[in-house]
Structure 1
Amino acid sequence: MLNAIIVDDEEFARSSLYFLLQENCENIQISGIAKSVAEARNLLLANKIDLIFLDIAMPGENGFELIPQIQESKAHVIFTTAYDQYALKAIKANALDYLLKPIDIDELKAAVDKAFRHIELSKTSTSKNENLQNLSANLSDRSEIRKISLPNGQGYSLVSIDDIIHIEADSNYSVFYLNNRDKITVSKVLKEYEEILPANQFVRIHKSSIVNLNYLKEYNSRNGLEVMLKNGAKIAVSRRRASDFVDKVKLYTSFDGDKSY
């Protein structure tokens, strides 16, 4: 059993999530319900909590302001929200779970199952705590995501986006090529990272390729449009993405006058 708390300022949201958990997640024991961050802090102090269902948009303090106490308690978090797109990008970038309201039963079950696995993993790893720290840092600078957490089978690799050279699709996996010559394979499709990473820096040039414009060495049309990256990789640009790629390169270089291609 996992000891869980629900934190949400809306009475209907609290009661409906409690009902869904009672009816569908027999391995969850609700140890308390809070309607504010202040009440949640008291619950965390008084109980050993494994899992927190945390709303974001609440009056007074928002859910992110509970992060320091969550880190101390080492609890797993599932955000429950209808919050803005930047926050969702930050949550996804750090491999943390969220459920959009109204909550779907199947998504709730999947999130709880994932929480069980991660809580077992966290007994021998500090990765989840690091992910929360990185989430807090990303949210304090709302300009862009600067780091992402990549699940690696044994935990998470915390990677600066500036260290990503390119990402290649491999069926339902994504392979990250980093500037230290490491490769990390992640069991998520490329589209998820296309949505997370800054669009002015990372460009999808093919259905199976995303490139970081920081590492663009040259592009030419000798054999169809093709890019060469600074690690030596040569990647074709699909015909339907060629115009968008060229436009983004022009825009990118206009803000970085010391680059030449």
Structure 2
Amino acid sequence: MLNVIIVDDEEFARSSLYFLLQNNCENVHICGIAKSVDEATELLSNFDIDLIFLDIAMPGKNGFELIAEAKKNNSQVVFTTAFDQYALKAIKANALDYLLKPIDIDELKETVDKASAIIGENDLETDKKERLKNLSSTLNDGAEIRKLSLPNGQGYTLIELNEIIRIEADSNYSVFHLDNREKITVSRVLKEYEEILPEDQFVRIHKSSIVNLNYLKEYNSRNGLEVVLKNGEKIAVSRRRASIFVEKVKSYTRFTNDK
């Protein structure tokens, strides 16, 4: 029997994974469900946890920050994430596994079977510690992301990064403006996406705006520094972020010209 915890800030994600495990994995005992890294840390201190189903993008501390506790407690980690399989090749080499949201039942069963086999072999304790150590290092280095899974209340909308023109802050929400003219509003703050998205392509130019440099047409200082996007939108660049923005554009231009 595997002692398991689920760590995810989204209620839909927590409940759906809970029921999938309960109904399809007889060898799993769910010791607790956490909405944050701090809650998960408390569970790890109270239970001998074999397996953590861990979301990455969460408010406050993200899933990466639980890796050290997982290593300390000798727990295996399975990411339940919005990132696609290409982005996670490096992570998959070191983590036990990952599951792309929305979670597929057959993939979940396969992951639990894999966990049972590995955790059942006591002589692999050193290998487990080393894999978690490598995973922590990989995550600190960052990984290439090509897709995002945006929660919509009833499930998820999967989008390609190259579809995103810009992201706009709206109080505690983020509004994604896509190249098909669709807008998707997500109940996450802009800072979370600033931390997740590739910084060489997505730049925060204002407290309320992140732009995709793929859609940058020009920038000028006629009315204060502003950017003009390929769809004709004009967006102000804050003074505090202006120098960083200009440097990012220079680096991005050099990179694309070298391709």
Task: Give TM-score, length-normalised by structure 1.
Answer: 0.52
Quote the offset at 1:140 in angstroms.
2.2
Output the amino acid matched with 2:110. Answer: A
Q: Distance in 2 between matches of 1:65 and 1:118?
A: 24
1:135 paired with 2:139, answer: no
1:1-261 to 2 correspondence within 5 Å?
A: 1-83=1-83, 88-94=88-94, 96-142=96-142
Quote the offset at 1:86 in angstroms.
7.5
Output the amino acid matched with 1:98. Answer: Y
Mapped contact 2:41–2:66 kept (Cα < 8 A): yes
Q: Secondary structure at the match of 2:142?
A: coil
Q: 1:24 to 1:138 in 2, by over 3 A?
A: same
Q: Distance in 2 between matches of 1:126 and 1:60?
A: 31
Quote the offset at 1:92 in angstroms.
1.8
Q: Distance in 2 between matches of 1:69 and 1:95?
A: 14
Quote the offset at 1:89 in angstroms.
2.5
Q: Distance in 2 between matches of 1:2 and 1:9?
A: 22
Q: 1:70 to 1:95 in 2, by over 3 A?
A: closer
Quote the offset at 1:139 in angstroms.
2.4
Q: Distance in 2 between matches of 1:89 and 1:65?
A: 20
Mapped contact 2:95–2:135 kept (Cα < 8 A): no
Q: Distance in 2 between matches of 1:138 and 1:78?
A: 15
Q: Distance in 2 between matches of 1:16 and 1:122?
A: 31
Mapped contact 1:80–1:99 kept (Cα < 8 A): yes
Mapped contact 1:87–1:139 kept (Cα < 8 A): no
Q: Distance in 2 between matches of 1:140 and 1:100?
A: 20
- 2:254 is aligned to none
Deviates more, 1:10-19 or 1:116-125: 116-125
Q: 1:60 to 1:86 in 2, by over 3 A?
A: farther
Deviations 1:192-231 (A, max 9, x none): xxxxxxxxxxxxxxxxxxxxxxxxxxxxxxxxxxxxxxxx
Quote the offset at 1:90 in angstroms.
2.5
Quote the offset at 1:121 in angstroms.
2.4
Output the amino acid matched with 1:29. Answer: H
- 2:170 is aligned to none
Identity of aligned residues (%): 69
Output the amino acid matched with 2:135. Answer: L
Q: Distance in 1 between matches of 2:113 and 2:18?
A: 17
Quote the offset at 1:91 in angstroms.
1.2
Q: Distance in 2 between matches of 1:114 and 1:74?
A: 16
Quote the offset at 1:76 in angstroms.
1.3
Mapped contact 1:49–1:73 kept (Cα < 8 A): yes
The answer for unaligned runs of 5 or more in structure 1 is 145-253, 255-261
Quote the offset at 1:78 in angstroms.
1.1
- 1:197 is aligned to none
Mapped contact 1:51–1:78 kept (Cα < 8 A): yes
Deviations 1:156-202 (A, max 9, x none): xxxxxxxxxxxxxxxxxxxxxxxxxxxxxxxxxxxxxxxxxxxxxxx
Output the amino acid matched with 2:4. Answer: A
Q: Distance in 2 between matches of 1:33 and 1:53?
A: 10
Mapped contact 1:81–1:100 kept (Cα < 8 A): yes
- 1:168 is aligned to none
Output the amino acid matched with 1:104. Answer: D
The answer for unaligned runs of 5 or more in structure 2 is 145-257
Q: Distance in 1 between matches of 2:107 and 2:143?
A: 30
Aligned residues: 145
Mapped contact 1:4–1:28 kept (Cα < 8 A): yes
